[in-house]
Amino acid sequence: MTDTYLNLVNSGFTKKIAQQLGLPRPAILRRFRPGQPLVDGPVLVLGSGPDADTVARVLSSTSGHGAADGGIDPASTMPGRDLDVRRDPGAGDRYAAVVLVLTEVAHPNDLADPILKLGSVLKALPAHARIVTISRPATPDEGPATAAARQGIDGILRSVAKELRAGATANGVVVADGVTVTAPSVLGALRFFLSTRSAFVDGQLLDVDTDGGALPLDWDRPLDGRVAVVTGAARGIGAAIAATLARDGATVVAVDVPAAGEQLAAVANRVHGTALQLDVTAPDAGTRILEHAMARHGRLDIVVHNAGILRDKLLANMTAERWGSIIAVNIAAQLRINEQLLTSGDFTTEPRIVALASTSGIAGNRGQTNYAASKGGVIGMVRATAPLLTAFGGTANAVAPGFIETDMTAKIPPVMRQVARRLNSLQQGGQPIDVAETVAFLASPQAGGVVGHVLRVCGQNLVGQ
């Protein structure tokens, strides 16, 4: 759906009027296009110590595929053109991205130097700039001072994200103690946050738990040879996910209810995949998905649980039918499908489960107790399911969209829709492609160390975290 206000305040005469009146002017976000550079300009790496030096070296290194023995060669892991990496801010310099390596922070006093250096360049950041922190988790084992400093980075990152303008974003990678900054998922997450693939991801911190996963041989097609199932694929976010996974090299099985058969076939044909007409609430849905994938494509590697419905009502007016239908589609079906896949013996080659949660499942929403229960349930499900996949090199994670421009949100009354669009740091709704890019990242080999987490795609919605 078109955001008329967004287009008006970014074009011609109405742009000047908006400037004169001091109206909010959300930027038209720059989204991914094949062939574009990772970042378009110099990158400033702030921080001291070996980790900061290593990150700077990796970012400035020549594109490559890693060590011949399958290990990670820090000098050849970041794809794309060599980047112009600087270690200290220069007077008058404009940076396309700033990476703050804060893994060695041990006391709140250690934050002043890198953070104030960041502050000194904020006003000169160009449109669509990227800020990424790399830090360690605040755990009690590290002692009060270190935990305080590390938790402080969370608050800094989220606050900086709310100060940025013109489509710039700030996100963080939280690296578990014992995991190096050259682990595949650290570099993969860093690349994702620096790129235009994360255009609507803002103010978020992503945990990297292990050194699992691998950097792809081809960064343009990291899912080559993989077979992915996408439920609810006939339209909207599901169709965008199917197209994005196919773009990244996956063979896609598009799943939706028989009533959407014509649209489903069109999506499957567009992505050169196959269609499976199936109600995900069927008792044997997981078995039928697996049988289709094995018979048509010989394997199944990725499952994206996107199918979902809304039945909004204030709790005082909630009926058993409204409650039950939401739970059946949005969470009970996912649990049943996962169980059938995990017990089949055929979902064991670095499997990936990516489920669609929602910011409603995190912060709640008026009139959505049933929906919030189901989406909160998705978050709990991936946390508990992820450990069951680690023995096979697999992961389970969730994506939590905020306000996304779809047919579903188009039904919201106009005034409420405008308000919902502006209630985030980027002051606009996201697009289905924004959710799809995040799903594709979590389904990729370079996210193998992200285990049981939720990544929000909400433009840093002002409600909740």
- Secondary structure of the chain: what % helix, strand, coil (to 5)? 45, 15, 45
Q: Where are the alpha helices (H) located in 281-413, listed in sequence order?
A: 285-297, 320-327, 333-342, 360-363, 369-389
Q: Are 402 and 458 in contact (CB under 8 A)?
A: yes
Q: Are 205 and 144 in contact (CB under 8 A)?
A: no
Who contacts 35 (Cβ-Cβ below 8 Å, separation ≥6)? none
HEC profile for 103-126? CCCCCHHHHHHHHHHHHHHHCCCC
CA–CA separation, 202 vs 165, rounded Å?
12
Number of Cβ within 10 Å of residue 265's Cβ equals 16
CA–CA separation, 439 vs 228, rounded Å?
11
Catalytic: which of 219, 371, 403, 441? Answer: 371
Q: Are 38 and 78 in contact (CB under 8 A)?
A: yes
CA–CA separation, 378 vs 163, rounded Å?
31
CA–CA separation, 380 vs 373, rounded Å?
10
Positive or negative, the CA dihedral 86, 92, 97, 98 is positive
Who contacts 356 (Cβ-Cβ below 8 Å, separation ≥6)? 237, 304, 305, 306, 308, 378, 398, 399, 400, 401, 435, 439
The strand pair at 251-256 and 227-231 is best described as parallel
Q: CA torsion 73→74→78→83, rounded to 10°? A: -130
Active site residue 5: no
Tell the burial category of 101 from Cβ atoms under 10 Å away from its Cβ (0-12, 13-18, 19+): buried
CA–CA separation, 284 vs 295, rounded Å?
16
CA–CA separation, 395 vs 213, rounded Å?
10
DSSP state at residue 398: E
Q: Where are the alpha helices (H) located in 164-212, listed in sequence order?
A: 184-194
Q: Where are the alpha helices (H) located in 354-413, listed in sequence order?
A: 360-363, 369-389
CA atoms within 13 Å, Cβ hemisphere of 341: 32
**Residues belonging to the active site:** 371
